[in-house]
Amino acid sequence: MHSQPQKRTLEGFGAQRGAHGFIIHIIDDRGEVFEIDVSEANLTTIVRELEVLVAGDIDFDEDTEPRAKAS
């Protein structure tokens, strides 16, 4: 069972190619840097979901996962 995630604010972001895909660097409002290895398939999924979010086609609720807007 997972604990409730801590909410933080994104302060910085960077990405580069890695040996087996990509490396994403996320910097939070506490100055912590998170380095995440990401496969090309996962990166494609992240980009696709962000494009949908920016287009306004996803609803967010504080207590649930993101979901597509009802048509």
**DSSP line for 9-63:** -EEEEEEEEETTEEEEEEEETT--EEEEEE-HHHHHHHHHHHHHHHHT-EE--TT
What are the sequence ranges of the domains in the chain? 10-60
Q: What is the Cα–Cα distance from 67 to 59, expressed in whole angstroms? A: 6
Would you state the pLDDT for residue 30?
Answer: 95
pTM score: 0.62
Q: What is the Cα–Cα distance from 47 to 68, expressed in whole angstroms? A: 15
Model confidence at 68: pLDDT above 70: no
Instruction: Give 67's DSSP letter.
Output: E
* pLDDT tens, residue by residue, 20-46: 899 999 999 999 999 999 999 999 999
